Amino acid sequence: MHRIAVIPGDGIGPEVIEQALLVLDKVSSKFGVKFEYIFIDAGGCAIDKYGVPIREEDLELVKKCEATLLGAVGGPKWDGLPGNLRPEQALLKLRGGLKVYANLRPAVLYDELKDSSPLKKEIVDKGIDILVVRELIGGMYFGPKGREVKNGDEVAYDTEVYSKSEVRRIAKVAFEAARKRKKKVTSVDKANILESSRLWRETVEEVAKNYPDVELAHMYVDNASMQLVKDPSQFDVILTSNMFGDILSDEASMIVGSIGMLASASLGEGSVGLYEPIHGTAPDIAGQDLANPIATILSAAMMLRYSFEMEDAAKAIENAVKIALKEGYRTKDIYTENCKLVGTKQMGKIICENI
Amino acid sequence: MHRIAVIPGDGIGPEVIEQALLVLDKVSSKFGVKFEYIFIDAGGCAIDKYGVPIREEDLELVKKCEATLLGAVGGPKWDGLPGNLRPEQALLKLRGGLKVYANLRPAVLYDELKDSSPLKKEIVDKGIDILVVRELIGGMYFGPKGREVKNGDEVAYDTEVYSKSEVRRIAKVAFEAARKRKKKVTSVDKANILESSRLWRETVEEVAKNYPDVELAHMYVDNASMQLVKDPSQFDVILTSNMFGDILSDEASMIVGSIGMLASASLGEGSVGLYEPIHGTAPDIAGQDLANPIATILSAAMMLRYSFEMEDAAKAIENAVKIALKEGYRTKDIYTENCKLVGTKQMGKIICENI
Ligand SMILES: CC(C)[C@H](C(=O)O)[C@@H](O)C(=O)O
Ligand SMILES: CC(C)[C@H](C(=O)O)[C@@H](O)C(=O)O
């Protein structure tokens, strides 16, 4: 029996989580394993209910679970609130509280969805299969920040800060992952300008010594943002900081043409993990049975793989998704001519049936 | 008579500058104006000659000129040097020393070069004409940075810091520019996480009140990196910080398919300006008459426009470039089937003849 903290969140969050849970139920009966779901409010809905993005007692509850499955949090409704009262604060508290320092974001181009990529056929035909390994609990997100008045001028600051030990542990994750893939790590930084990037680069070099079988390349972040569009097939594992990873993983998700398909796992020491789709709350389509549940369903698959060591079940889900796509089922975001348009619920149902 | 500091720099820098100067010579005879060129060493070549990226006395010389035309600086040869001895340091010293806080980077898709864009025809057909207005002498590039040992762990940091007055002046540049264009400013930040971004957003809102005729939108940087690929036609002026601007302007330059075509102007108060192509030193093709001189030639045109108020001459250069493209002349980087392949020098010559 596995205890899972389930955080539906805001916007389309609850709808996509619902389908992921149905998939987990199917896995449960098929693989003879039990899941207990602990539902937690976090994000905008928690602000509305309790006045805070996540209550301390709820954070403690989450920490006691084996893994967390999250939909999405945030929305324009809460955008005007001060920094510490925003829905996103719940995400930071969860990430920091669970100490999940390694955010794994696979950006894979599905053959069936090639037409949805904004890139030209020549580029896309070379294939895209990138794993972004983003540091998740350091850098500017968590460094000292504040505001002050200096000579009558208001000043605000954030600090990008990294220690060698932080870089070392995330670099290890990237190299280990690369070993199971195409054996290439591209570490992205801005070492020509940032002191923190220089420490990053040095430390990555040190870690690389233990992985002589993995090729290491360094790339400046401005160049990386170009190369992702120019020739994404050159990348295997991209290793980068929290801030740069935020930008580049979104770019990577766009070039595969289907942010509604992309899952993520955030891992710490041991088997703890936070699993969430890469997409946001999409308030404009919330509650209309239009959202694509696949990213969340694939996040659940990642949970089975990384937190519960249920590789077979994870593969069964991934396979079921592929079959649904092959059979031509598409939610609106990935719809192209001659496919079968389905809603959130039907897509979930079809995937369940394929397991 | 106008005094121009000319900084050829490293790699392909000297070759592309050579062609830009020939173009300026042609403008000189055609428009009855005299240019005096003060040649300055900066970047890797200055490190090799003098042991520093730029000598203080040379920086003083540059400051005494009316405008600066720069090729490109840097290269792998100097990558191993400590931060303050890198070629890029020359750029920072020039930008900071000249106080050019507003970096204007137009990313325009030329009809003739549509095929060079990595984006699909449907997207490109909607047109791309973006002006990135990047803050250039603040943020993480210039904020406090350093290294220290904390509890036996080495730590490095950089500070993203912005004051209201800094944001105000760059925002004004963006709104003024938008007025002369499609009247839309998209301000890019990470206000859901960064305190400096919240100050940025507030201040941009304040400035916007003076420009009721200009539409203002805010966008998170991760979303902006997606939207640039998904639908670049939605952007007119992008206003952003030094770090985010570095990343997004490179991405914007790649989607128009021709980084060898893109010029930039860095402006401060009055008519002072630093003009340089967006591309780097391209050491792999340096000295082989392969580089595209157009970005530098168009940078010279921007110099005529912004520093010398020679709009007619600027237009004459831009027109000459368009004619060369229309006639099918292409350097290798923008070559497509059935065009006429030419080298750096010949491209320069053809453009001169068209003026
Ligand atoms: C919502 C936001 C705080 C978050 C981040 O910046 O990390 C999101 O963009 C993401 O990438 O998960
Ligand atoms: C060379 C580097 C320091 C520079 C920058 O980061 O500003 C370059 O990338 C640019 O955009 O002009």
Q: How far apart are CA A22 and CA B245, in angstroms?
A: 43
- The residue annotated as part of the active site, out of B99, B184, B220, B250, is B250
Question: Predicted confidence band at B242 (pLDDT cuts at 50, 70, 90)?
Answer: very high
Is B189 labelled a binding residue? no
**Ligand 2 midpoint to CA B246 (Å):** 6
The beta-carbon neighbor of B195 closest among A158, A194, A251 is A158
List for chain B the helix, strand, coil content (%; round to 5): 50, 25, 30
Q: Tell me if B3 is assigned to a ligand binding site.
A: no
- Here the tokens at position A248 are 């580049």
Mean pLDDT for chain B? Answer: 96
Directed axis angle between helix A195-208 and helix A164-179, to 10°?
Answer: 50
Q: Is the pLDDT of residue A83 over 80?
A: no
CA B83 to chain centroid: 22
Tell me the pLDDT tens digit for each residue of B290-333. Answer: 999 999 999 999 999 999 999 999 999 999 999 999 999 999 99
Q: What distance in Å separates the CA atoms of residue A170 and residue B196, rounded to the nearest whole number?
A: 26
Contact across the interface for B248 and A225, Cβ inside 8 Å: yes
Output the CA A246–ligand 1 centroid distance in Å: 6
Q: Which residues of A are annotated as a binding site for substrate?
A: 95, 105, 134, 222
Q: Which residues on chain A are in Cβ contact (under 8 Å) with B74?
A: 192
* Predicted local confidence at residue B42, as pLDDT: 98
Cβ atoms of B155 and B148 within 8 Å: the answer is yes
> What pLDDT does residue A81 have?
82
Predicted confidence (pLDDT) per residue in A283-323, tens digit:
999 999 999 999 999 999 999 999 999 999 999 999 999 99
The residue-averaged pLDDT of A84-98 equals: 93
Q: Quick one: which of A275, A254, A278, A253 has its CA closest to A265?
A: A275
B113-125 confidence digits (pLDDT tens): 988 899 999 999 9
pLDDT value of residue B67: 98
**Apex B170 CA angle, B218 and B137, nearest 5:** 115
B167 and B200 in contact (C-beta within 8 Å)?
Answer: yes
pLDDT band at B344 (very low <50, low <70, confident <90, very high): very high
- Lookup: tokens for B12: 């392909």
Please say whether the beta carbons of B90 and B84 come within 8 A.
no
Which residue has the CA at smallest separation from atom 6 of ligand 1? A246
CA distance A26 to B35: 77
Nearest CB neighbour to B160, from listed A154, A160, A244 = A160
Which residue segments constitute the domains of chain B, with CATH numbers given?
A: 1-109+260-355 (3.40.718.10), 118-255 (3.40.718.10)
| Res B214: pLDDT | 98
Which residues of A contribute to the annotated binding site for Mg(2+)? Answer: 222, 246, 250
DSSP, res A291: S
Higher pLDDT, A110 or A160: A160
Specify the residue for token string 């930039």.
B264
Contacts of B337 in chain A (CB under 8 A): none
CA separation for the pair A320, A313 (Å, rounded): 11
Over residues B241-262, mean pLDDT: 94
Answer whether A251 contacts ligand 1 (Cβ < 6 A): no
Average pLDDT for B69-75: 96
Taking an 8 Å cut-off on Cβ atoms, the answer to whether B140 and A160 are in contact is: yes
Q: What's the Cα-to-Cα distance from B308 to each of A191, B32, B34, B71, B326, rounded to whole Å?
A: 36, 13, 11, 19, 28
Q: At what angle do helices A221-230 and B242-255 cross, to 10 degrees?
A: 20
Q: What is the DSSP secondary structure assignment for residue A140, as one 8-state letter?
A: G
CA B9 to CA B40: how far, in whole Å?
Answer: 9
Q: Where residue A187 falls among pLDDT bands split at 50, 70, 90? A: very high
User: For residue B82, what pLDDT band results from cuts at 50, 70 and 90?
Assistant: confident
- The pTM score is 0.95
Query: Do residues A147 and A255 touch, judged by C-beta distance below 8 A?
Result: no
- For residue B153, the number of C-alpha atoms closer than 13 Å in the C-beta half-sphere is 11
Mean pLDDT of A238-248: 98
> Which uninterrupted H or E stretch holds B9?
strand B2-9
In the predicted model, is pLDDT for residue B73 greater than 80?
Answer: yes
Does residue B48 have an active-site annotation? no
B150, A143 contact by CB (below 8 A) = no
Cα–Cα separations (whole angstroms), residue B340 to B109, B290, B325, B344: 20, 14, 10, 13
